[in-house]
Homo-oligomer: A and B are copies of this chain.
Amino acid sequence: MPKKYFYFFGDKKNTEGNTKMKNSLGGKGANLAEMARIGVPVPPGFTVSTEVCDLFYRSKKSFPEKLQPEFLKYVKKLEKASGKKFGDPVNPLLVSVRSGARVSMPGMMNTILNLGLNDRTAQTLAAKTKNESFAYDCYRRLIQMFGDVVMEVNREKFKITDKNLSEQEQAGLFKDIYKKECGQTFPQDPLTQLALARDAVFKSWNTPRAQTYRELYKIPHTIGTAVNIQTMVFGNMGQDSATGVGFTRDPSTGEKMFYGEYLINAQGEDVVAGIRTPHPINELKSRLPRAFNQLKQITSRLEKHYKDIQDFEFTIEKNKLYMLQTRTGKRTGPAAVKIAVDMVREGLIKQTEAVRRVQPDQLNQLLHPIFDPKEQKKFPVIAKGLNASPGAASGQVVFNADEAVAQAEAGQRVILVRSETSPNDIHGMAKARGVLTATGGQTSHAAVVGRQMGKPSVVGCGVLKVNEEKKLFVVRKDGQDITVKQGDYISIDGTTGEVMTGDVPTQESEVIQVLKEKLDPKSSKSYQHFAKLLGWADKIRRLGVRANADIPSDAALAIRLGAQGIGLCRTEHMFFAPERLPIVQKMILAKTESERKEAVNQLLPMQTQDFVGILEAMQGFPVTIRTLDPPLHEFLPKKEELMVEIATAKMELSRFESNDPKKEELVNTIQSKEKLLSRVSELHEFNPMMGHRGCRLGITYPEITEMQARAIIEAACRLKQKGKKSLPEIMIPLIGTVAELTNQKAIVNRVAEEVMKKYGCKIPYTVGTMIEIPRAVLTADEIAREAEFFSYGTNDLTQMTFGYSRDDAAKFLSYYVEHKILPHDPFVSIDQTGVGELIKIGVKKGRATRPKLKIGICGEHGGDPASVIFCHHAGLDYVSCSPFRLPLARLAAAHAVLGEKS
């Protein structure tokens, strides 16, 4: 049991607390004490500590009897410090009673102002301020607040119907209401008021509202709140009084400027409530120059003292300045970066601290186009989906990829809206400004590709009824159907998931303009800050970062974004190119092995060119190339579409005369479609995600692996002939048993030997595997006998570990997260308990066999800060993510190291 329960603050000498004592004093109390301690003028007061809150709850919600004498001692101390006395008819002490926990819970707990007023002191206040209506307004508010907070009388009960009553008469009426509702008169004794108010603050810690808030933000229920009892000061004591709030720097841009607002002759509430329009703080200089200068000096000192931007509140009572609050200021992403970099330059903080100050997610705001916040308000939000890929986009709606391409090439801005997207839509997604889908979760095709392209995307927007045939979608909102047709403008915000009708103006960030080489880095301060901060992060982090990229231009971008290699180059995206798809289909539909080999061989020169491009772009950095992964039917038309086409064509058949030559043509069409349907049906799978894909394809169709291995090694050999280095890592997907890898590795090695012999050179390639099947984790020791590296495919691993199909889970996952069955969407941030456990098992088993085994992660989680930190602690060598996520990953990796040290 600690000996000290109460902490005084007021002047340097008598102040007992400091900023480090947030556990006992709460954030507000600790900062008030700190300010007082360093000589900043604060109205005197004292803090009843959180330990008392604990005792209060242990004593069946009553203030511990034995602490009563000490409490009264502090009241006396306060009276002495303020030179005022509770209930004194001449110089009455008025106080505020406020809660203050270790962690801020804005608006969650109770506050009582003007405590100490009663019939007599109200009169005194009126006389002293020469403002009767102000004084009785204060009294009236106290009665109402007290009734609400202490006696639990609904605020609405305090109503004034007769508008002609004076403030004093209104106060009288409120006392009557109080008596009627509470069955007792409003307590005139200020000490009684104080005791009741203090206890009411403690009780407010456990309201359902506060409990819910804590659960939401993961704040422990046990930390309790402190109670701050502080002398009231008044900014509304005339033209020499004022009140205001401010920041030591611009929290929106980070610019170093005095920033804030004030009102003359007003109370703090008036600034916040917006009843009167406040003035820019610099204008205070001409109104109350002495107080202004003092304020500027004090806040500047506070910033230096706290070594961070301060968010402060002040009141000037009759030319005398009081600081009421100071705390670390919240800021936007761009401001966070600029302030961190500036403060290092100013010598306030070290580089590591600058890195620690910026949250990885904040970097998003520097990377993605954004809506003009003022403009945005004018447009109605019609739906909200999952915020799959951040950034803002607006344009005309199109419902298929080809039209997206056509219209974009005609110079229009388009938003591609689909029920869902598939690899067939990639060309359209590339040309669209943004993508909106009705189904799919955070790692659905649209989401993954959207993020990879840095394309604003909202997915899984279930309220959308998309009719691709009729080219419209319908949203039901407030009992009405809103229909959006092709060509209508919509705007989507990939950062919030909001969908708006209309064309909300957007802007591309400077950083992006530099990265896309549209803007000289020298002319962008924000890029320079961004680059400097990430440079510091790079010096701190040990975890490598790589990019998921399939094409040379993405690879080049990835290098500019700090990639140290490619962690995942998907080869199937190359198969969907329009000029290749027919050959791929020929390969699939082949009846004989030789027919299939012929088609595969046609793909060889194309794939070789692909790999020459990407290996060259990566300038000798390692490039992990995954062999073919998706099920073959993804390359064929959909079964149900074919069935409808055939049925329709057959109906049509009956319309023709029997000798009509068109009839024969139609019969032929039907026959060829039926043939195609038969193959599509053969390839149809109930659960394609767990079907004939990944290495299962490479094993049953070895010629595909053979062709891909040949293309990779050929590409590396050709580059070597031109004197260029390359480092291909060939990755076999979906391994579940070591025998699969043995099989595929043998093919790769055989082909590689052949090709290297032909070119007369050696390529330092390696062969490894994705770890994405639970069984691969469980047998990682066996698999590591063959695998020269592991790369966790956490998308699939999450699917299999939970038994969630990422394309379907959106239907219940949002419900799960909302009802706290899951803490978060496991496709967004690694499930550290389940999937994380598997990752750790795999690392342990893999390195038991091969101690220096290189292990990375190439799932979507590679760009999620929490997951990056997890990967660091799990002992991985690198994370790989989509290029635009690289900055986040670099910063998060640095945070992981900083977290280790602290």
Contacts and interface: CB of A to CB of B under 8 A. Distances in A.
Contacts of A551: none
A628 to B, nearest CB: 14
A651 interface: yes
Given A688-B686, A802-B773, A831-B775, A699 B648 contact: no
A778 interface: yes
B820 A800 contact: no
Interface stretch (A20-28, A57-65, A380-388, A639-647): A639-647
A775 B822 CA distance: 13
A271 interface: no
B779 A691 contact: no
A736 B834 contact: yes
A705 to B, nearest CB: 14
A796 interface: yes
Interface in A124-166: none
B687 A778 contact: no
A756 B800 CA distance: 39
Contact of A803 (B643, B800, B812, B831): B800
A753 interface: no
Contact of A812 (B692, B772, B774): B692
A739 interface: yes
Interface in A683-730: 685-692, 696, 699-700
A306 to B, nearest CB: 40
A592 interface: no
Contacts of A639: 640
A822 B699 contact: no
A743 to B, nearest CB: 6
A835 B773 CA distance: 12
Contact of A644 (B465, B647, B799): B647
A805 interface: yes
A690 B805 contact: yes
B803 A736 contact: yes
Contacts of A759: none
Contact of A687 (B640, B648, B805, B821): B805
Given A699-B821, A822-B737, A690 B689 contact: yes
- A688, A734, A812, A820: residue with the most chain B Cβ atoms closer than 10 Å: A812
Contacts of A804: 690, 736
Contacts of A193: none
Given A651-B648, A736-B802, A774-B801, A807 B838 contact: no
Interface string A579-614: 000000000000000000000000000000000000
A652 interface: yes
Interface in A763-806: 772-775, 778-779, 796, 799-805
A809 interface: yes
Copies of this protein chain in the complex:
2
A39 to B, nearest CB: 52
A740 interface: yes
Contacts of A690: 687, 689-690, 799, 803-805, 808-809
Contacts of A740: 821
Contacts of A687: 687-690, 805, 807-808
Nearest to A836: B778
A807 B686 contact: yes
Contact of A838 (B743, B773, B774): B774
Nearest to A742: B821
A222 interface: no
A833 interface: yes
* Residue in A779, A803, A805 whose Cβ sees the most chain B Cβ within 10 Å: A803
A691 B778 contact: no
Contacts of A736: 802-804, 834
Contact of A808 (B688, B807, B835): B688
B778 A838 contact: yes
A369 to B, nearest CB: 31
A796 B803 contact: yes
Nearest to A740: B821
A837 interface: yes
Nearest to A440: B686
A525 interface: no
Given A648-B647, A820-B739, A833-B779, A692 B811 contact: yes
B802 A775 contact: yes
Nearest to A782: B833
A113 B69 CA distance: 116
A805 B692 CA distance: 9
Given A652-B651, A739-B821, A805 B685 contact: yes
Nearest to A691: B808
A686 B648 contact: no
Interface in A636-665: 639-640, 643-644, 647-648, 651-652
A513 to B, nearest CB: 38
B686 A689 contact: yes
A379 interface: no
Contacts of A812: 692, 696, 699-700
A391 to B, nearest CB: 27
A837 B778 CA distance: 7
A811 B691 contact: yes
A815 interface: yes
Interface in A353-391: none
Interface string A667-690: 000000000001000000111111
Contact of A779 (B678, B700, B834): B834
Contacts of A820: 739
B778 A834 contact: yes
A821 B737 CA distance: 8
Nearest to A651: B651
A741 to B, nearest CB: 10
Nearest to A796: B803
A687 B685 CA distance: 9
A819 B808 CA distance: 34
B739 A833 contact: no
Q: Which of A643, A690, A820, A838 has the most chain B CB atoms inside 10 A of its CB?
A: A690
25 contacts: A639-B640, A644-B647, A647-B647, A651-B652, A686-B805, A686-B807, A687-B688, A689-B690, A689-B803, A690-B803, A690-B809, A691-B805, A691-B809, A696-B812, A699-B819, A734-B803, A736-B803, A737-B822, A740-B821, A772-B803, A774-B803, A774-B834, A774-B838, A778-B833, A800-B803
Which 8 A-B residue pairs are closest in the complex by CB-CB distance?
A687-B805, A651-B651, A690-B805, A775-B834, A640-B640, A691-B808, A685-B808, A686-B807
Interface of A: 465, 639-640, 643-644, 647-648, 651-652, 678, 685-692, 696, 699-700, 734, 736-737, 739-740, 743, 772-775, 778-779, 796, 799-805, 807-809, 811-812, 815-816, 819-822, 831, 833-835, 837-838
Given A651-B651, A690-B690, 8 more contacts: A648-B651, A689-B690, A736-B802, A736-B803, A736-B804, A774-B803, A775-B802, A796-B803
